[in-house]
Structure 1
Amino acid sequence: MRQRVFPILLAVAAAAVTTTAGAAPSSPADVKMPAGWSGSYATLPGQDKAFINDLERRTFDWFWDSADPKTGLVPDHFPGKSFSSIAAVGFALTGYGIGVERGYITRAQAVDRTLATLRFFSDAPQNASEDEATGYHGFFYHFLDMRSGRRDARWVELSSVDTTLLMGGVLFAQSYYDRDTPKEREIRQLADQLYRAVDWPWMQARKPLISMGWTPGGKFIPADWKGYDEGKLVYILALGSPTHPVGSDAWAAWCSTYPKQWGTFEGYTLLNFGPLFGHQYTESWVDFHGIRDAWSRAHGLDYAENGRRATYAQRAYAIANPGHWTGYGPDMWGLTASDGPGDVSLPSAQGERHFHGYMARGAGLGDVHDDGTIAPTAAGGSIAFAPTIVVPALMTMKQRYGRYIYDRYGFVDAFNPSFHGTPKSGRTYPGFGWADTQQLGIDQGPILLMIENWRSGFVWNVMKKNPYIRRGLERAGFTGGWLTPR
């Protein structure tokens, strides 16, 4: 369950599959592309490439600098005091491998940080108590106290999706650290142990679906993962488990609401989910280019193509700008779950405007939540889907507003040029608007992982070697592409 203050219920362009009838063209005429650029990282002009390199390094540094080196716990938000987000830990574990490949850190440094993290979670108490546990039944609490490593507060749930995102990093570590050394052998052993311990059927309060979470006081949350969103990875890992797998009927149940989500938004026919994180989280670890389940086979596209269309549809929504928000346009767009200026109402030429704090902003069929707040991760996390529109957008954000929104750790979490009041968090700048003063781990993660997937396919290629990922996809009915036996 993606939550900070409330629950939200909710590689390269050349690899894209054929567009189905009713979808907009793959490259709208108004897309601004650098002269001679094909969409690949290799052919990106030097100055633009330097910007992407800088953004990737700064985003990596956020994880490396913010994590506790003794426990591996990563804060939900940083700088500033914060609890730990287990999902951010999953992105961090994956990011350390990127750091090795890019030369930001040594392999020995990555091994030590990864081993500390896996040892912490392996040794952490698992029980049904309110306050003295880190997890239960192999799952972990969404937010942990950065010092004690225990459940941060009684409103925090044992989270199925955040455990899943943690396990994305755990399984990455299992497959990446493949050398025959004592430390790397221990990484593989601990990673396997942690994944095998997750009791997925226990989380099926209403089989065959998987619940969003559990609390000792309230027991199972009365909401399940059902329908297209970031929950894809929950089911893939639950199906792939060698010890506690869910039944093969779980994937079909998950897909059962797809017909309601399939439709045309801003000229693009796709499986709709408004916030872009729903198209990015699973895809940060799993390469869906060329592999299809029963639904995608019947509709002539894969989930990577669906993510590309969602990205283009959001850009088209910003160009249309029905809310008349300041700054929106072809190279200024991006709605997803992010921080905001706070629950504040202000007068404007369009009437009273209502702004929000952390919220799942998005734009899709029947799913538009927009208060003028742009999150760079919305575009950045889609760079592997649609680089020809993402790179110009990220560069425009920095060139236009960089002094307010780009710091030592890359882009701040969000900004809003339409907000000129007194914010509940962040800062308002005269002549600009509102900008956050921090980054969030779950928003930094897609930027870092998807830049590298676009550049080299690195994370995807490591995960392709993981037998549990393959088994989960195959049990969900995926075939073709890299899943085809050689």
Structure 2
Amino acid sequence: MPASAALQRHPLSRPSPSAPESGGPFNHPCYRQSSAPPPPPGAPNCRAVSLSLGRWLRTAPGPFRCHSQARCDGAMLALALLAAILGFSDPVDDFDSGPPKGPRLCRFFGPMGEWHDGASVADWQLLPDPVAGGRFMRLTFLAADGTAGCGVYFLLGPEAEDLSPTLSARDLRRYSALSLRMRGAVPDAQAILIELTDGDARHVLVPLPRPSASWAELAIPLDVFAVVDLSRLRKIALVLPPCGAATPSRLDIDDLALISGEPAPSSDDALLDLMERRAWEFFRDGFHAGTGLVWDKSSTPHISSIAATGFGLAALPVAAERGWLKPQDAVSLARRCLSTLLSAPQGEAPDTAGAHGFFYHFLDARNGRRFGDCEVSSIDTALLVVGAVACGEGLADLPGGADIREMAARLATSVEWPWMLDPSRKVFWMGWQPERGFFGSWDYYTDEALLICLLAASSPSHPVPPDVAWAWRRERGSYGGQSLVQTYCGSMFSYLFCSLFIDLRNRTDRHPTDPIDWWANARAAALANLAFCRSQEKDFVTYRKGRFGLSACLAPGTAPWEERYDGDYGALPAAVGPHHDGTLAPYAAAMCLPLFAGQDNPALTALWSFWRDCPRLWGLYGFRDGCNLGRTDSPADDWYASDYVGVCQGPLILGIENFRTGLVWKLTDKSPILRKGRDALFK
């Protein structure tokens, strides 16, 4: 719609000498009458919404009342306060990630950038905020006359069109308002507009108040963008139309966010439901539209992790059971994914999907073949197989679901476990590459090795004797009053990956001389992890207020905006280390929830502390992968991961769901294949 129409209709607008007239010199597409399809049926008229909002602002109670149209600019500040009281927000861009200049992704994992036309200029950089912490964006611009002006944009998903349909245009109907912080020095005549564009190119512009030298928090109700389809939103932009200024102006923006229309969680179940649902949305968006393979990380949508794919498959029946996904869609996604895996080329050539039924750690999500020079992985294949079997059992009773169970069984049957076994030591290799052969070995206790041995003993076609589970070392250690069989690095995930899928409560293994209750062992490891964090909280702020969860996760990089994956984070007891630097992973605490069911639960305490005391940790898919607080005296140096990782989001879902209902355990318990391996190893 023309900008002049937006300025006239929006109730928070005020007259501007630079307001463009229809047919004037503005030729940027956002100023033209849209030729896109009409609004969806039932969408309210923008003028009616504006009048309704204007009436509300003039009749609202207390500090939110605006007695005249001229005072409605101030209502944006009041709405920001109201939103802070009533709900919580998901950042579109808090400008804390990415380099100070150059290509970067916003928090919805689409590109952010500037645009300008003709003689107009727009240049941005990210600067540290020594007071509030993190960084903000400084935009230096000159919106020259005779042009379409300039601005910055934020795409709400990747630009590629072959990904999940939910990524090409976001459903924002659960949000009530768009908020931001703003300050600057701009000419009186300079208009500042927020533009929303949907998947059909419908767009609406809404003016913002003129900024002052101090930070102001604003909130714009999404109702005023009624012409756009909020169920399919594609882009948010800051538009600076020309105003005749001869010198550049400065505008600072921070904390661009969408305010949820949901109330903030006030009970344990509400918090867990919110966390689990948001983590599921990572997988909903991560199933590739063509192959059905799941992305490894939200920032790399064309790289699939087969372990993340296994977790995504296991999450499908959870999502269907909870009503987050239509049952027929769960069956369709599972069929697409399993069809790709079952038809993918296998062999010892370097350009296949795997060898001898095992799969490469990473696959190209577009074609299902090896990505880069990664290895054929025993543990990642195990996570894929057990997730597929759980999925098959969970969908078996749905229309078409029997096929999913049969396909999952075929996938499990195809794995040639003896090929990955070192016969001289009776331990499994970690991986194989055509360029180097076998390498690494599972010769020290970890729950991953336990899962591999259980699946190998389960195989209908290529079984391995269960005594391979007695071949790796079982070394005991103690910390914080807890004695247990330790893992190599003491990382929390390494005690729980098998137990996420297989119910090991009240069971001991069949070791002839040293039987172990691995469930009790994991519980002792969680208490030791908590005790270790408490012992270090004087030096590491992140470990305070009951927070724990030293486990593999994203970690701070060399530069403040860089991050890397660190698989060695852990606590005592451990064979090496402990390796830690103040970084905690919320998913690790979530995995521990079932360990303390029916009693005072330290994992719940930790999750509430992450929620209440680490607000910048929350984002589009729930808690991000990790955080590290108090690294220096400046809050600007607190670090929060910018990304989400499939092998962390999946354990969070399974840990929460097993704590709430035990659903995943019930599904794997129905599988004759998995029961065979469980009963061979456990009593």
Q: What secondary structure sits across from 1:384 in the alignment?
A: helix
Q: 1:356 to 1:322 in 2, by over 3 A?
A: farther
1:304 matches 2:523: no
1:474 matches 2:682: no
1:382 matches 2:595: no
Q: 1:289 to 1:238 in 2, by over 3 A?
A: same
Matched residues in 2 for 1:344 and 1:313: separation? 32
When Rg is computed on C-alpha atoms for both structures, the one with the higher figure is 2
Alignment-mate amino acid for residue 530 of structure 2: R
1:294 matches 2:510: yes
Alignment-mate amino acid for residue 69 of structure 1: A
Matched residues in 2 for 1:288 and 1:239: separation? 16
Matched residues in 1 for 2:267 and 2:438: separation? 51
1:406 matches 2:639: no
Instruction: Find 1:333's aligned residue among 532, 538, 548.
Output: 548
1:71 matches 2:291: yes
Instruction: Find 1:87's aligned residue among 307, 310, 313.
Output: 307
Structure 2 unaligned regions, length at least 5: 1-264
Matched residues in 1 for 2:367 and 2:443: separation? 30
Q: What are the superposed Cα offsets for residues 129-168 of structure 1, whole Å, 9 maximum, x if unpaired?
A: 112x0011000000011212111012x0000000000001
Matched residues in 1 for 2:513 and 2:287: separation? 41
Per the TM alignment, residue 357 of structure 1 is displaced from its structure 2 partner at its CA by 4.8
Q: How many residues align?
A: 409
Per the TM alignment, residue 392 of structure 1 is displaced from its structure 2 partner at its CA by 1.1
1:121-136 to 2 correspondences below 5 Å: 121-131=341-351, 133-136=352-355
Matched residues in 2 for 1:462 and 1:312: separation? 28
* Deviation >4 Å, runs of 4+: 295-299
Alignment-mate amino acid for residue 161 of structure 1: I
Matched residues in 1 for 2:630 and 2:609: separation? 17
Match of 1:194 in 2: 411
Per the TM alignment, residue 358 of structure 1 is displaced from its structure 2 partner at its CA by 2.5
Match of 1:26 in 2: none
1:265 matches 2:482: no
Alignment-mate amino acid for residue 335 of structure 1: L
Matched residues in 2 for 1:330 and 1:400: separation? 9
Alignment-mate amino acid for residue 557 of structure 2: G
Per the TM alignment, residue 180 of structure 1 is displaced from its structure 2 partner at its CA by 7.3
Alignment-mate amino acid for residue 359 of structure 1: G
Q: What secondary structure sits across from 2:477 in the alignment?
A: strand
1:339-358 to 2 correspondences below 5 Å: 339-343=554-558, 357-358=565-566
Q: What are the superposed Cα offsets for residues 195-228 of structure 1, whole Å, 9 maximum, x if unpaired?
A: 1110000111344211111110101114235423
Matched residues in 2 for 1:202 and 1:400: separation? 49
Q: What secondary structure sits across from 2:549 in the alignment?
A: coil
Match of 1:247 in 2: 465
Matched residues in 2 for 1:136 and 1:225: separation? 22
Q: What secondary structure sits across from 1:144 in the alignment?
A: strand
Q: 1:405 to 1:439 in 2, by over 3 A?
A: same
Per the TM alignment, residue 63 of structure 1 is displaced from its structure 2 partner at its CA by 0.7
Q: 1:82 to 1:360 in 2, by over 3 A?
A: farther
> Which fold has the larger relative contact order, with Cα–Cα distance below 8 Å and residues 6 or more apart in sequence?
1
Instruction: Find 2:668's aligned residue among 446, 463, 467.
Output: 463
User: Does the CA contact (< 8 Å) of 2:529 and 2:550 recur in 1?
Assistant: yes
Instruction: Find 1:448's aligned residue among 650, 653, 657.
Output: 653
Aligned CA RMSD, in angstroms, stands at 2.2
Segment drifting more, 167-176 vs 118-127: 167-176
Alignment-mate amino acid for residue 461 of structure 1: K
Instruction: Find 1:109's aligned residue among 325, 329, 347.
Output: 329
Higher helix share: 1
Matched residues in 2 for 1:195 and 1:330: separation? 44
Matched residues in 1 for 2:390 and 2:443: separation? 23
User: Does the CA contact (< 8 Å) of 1:374 and 1:416 recur in 2?
Assistant: yes
Q: What secondary structure sits across from 1:369 in the alignment?
A: coil
Alignment-mate amino acid for residue 358 of structure 1: D
Per the TM alignment, residue 467 of structure 1 is displaced from its structure 2 partner at its CA by 1.1
Q: What are the superposed Cα offsets for residues 443-477 of structure 1, whole Å, 9 maximum, x if unpaired?
A: 0111101100000010001111111111112222x
Q: 1:408 to 1:322 in 2, by over 3 A?
A: closer
Per the TM alignment, residue 263 of structure 1 is displaced from its structure 2 partner at its CA by 2.5
Q: 1:67 to 1:180 in 2, by over 3 A?
A: closer
Q: 1:128 to 1:455 in 2, by over 3 A?
A: same
Per the TM alignment, residue 297 of structure 1 is displaced from its structure 2 partner at its CA by 9.1
User: Does the CA contact (< 8 Å) of 2:396 and 2:402 recur in 1?
Assistant: yes
Per the TM alignment, residue 127 of structure 1 is displaced from its structure 2 partner at its CA by 1.3
Q: What secondary structure sits across from 2:541 in the alignment?
A: coil
Match of 2:319 in 1: 99
Matched residues in 2 for 1:244 and 1:110: separation? 30
Segment drifting more, 46-55 vs 435-444: 46-55
Match of 1:425 in 2: none
Higher strand share: 2
Identity %: 33
Q: 1:200 to 1:276 in 2, by over 3 A?
A: same
Matched residues in 2 for 1:459 and 1:150: separation? 29
Q: 1:158 to 1:225 in 2, by over 3 A?
A: farther
Alignment-mate amino acid for residue 275 of structure 1: S
User: Does the CA contact (< 8 Å) of 2:448 and 2:497 recur in 1?
Assistant: yes
